[in-house]
Amino acid sequence: MNKPFVAVAAVDSIAPGKFVKVEVEGRAYIVARVDDRFYAVEDNCSHEDYPLSYGCLDGKRIKCSLHGSRFSLETGQPEDEPADEPIAVFAVEVEGDRIWLDPSRAVNR
């Protein structure tokens, strides 16, 4: 896998329905697994700059533990109030036994 993709985790390190927090160049991301698909989003709630990694997965959504907004892992869009702005979604690929993240740009902005 070529740049700008960066290897961030081993495939086996994330069980289905779970996520890990990773850091690339000082920025935090969530890499989540739903069934056999992987998703990457910024680790920051758009409502009050709160880490989404304190929350939990709800299907293909990450739920903020502070006020409960859920965000689509596919589009970044909030599905509940109080958040009304999307979070950034990043391209993620699997090659071999590694998960690769492209931190160079959000794919939903």
Tell me the C-alpha to C-alpha distance, in Å, between residue 60 and each of 1, 24, 70, 93: 26, 23, 10, 17
Asked if 87 interacts with ligand FES (CB under 6 A), we say no
Identify the residue among 14, 66, 106, 107 touching ligand FES (CB under 6 A): 66
d(C-alpha 69, C-alpha 71), whole Å: 7
> Contact between 63 and ligand FES (CB under 6 A)?
no
Quote the CA–CA distance of 16 and 98 in Å, as a whole number.
15
Q: Tell the smallest beta-carbon distance from residue 30 to ligand FES (Å).
A: 13
Q: 4, 16, 82, 96: which one contacts ligand FES (CB under 6 A)?
A: 82
Which residues, in sequence order, are bridge partners of residue 32? Answer: 19, 39
7-15, 36-44, 59-67, 93-101 -> range binding ligand FES (CB under 6 A)? 59-67
Q: How far apart are CA 51 and CA 42, in angstroms?
A: 9
Catalog residues that contact ligand FES under the rule CB under 6 A. Answer: 45, 47-48, 50, 64, 66-67, 69, 82-83
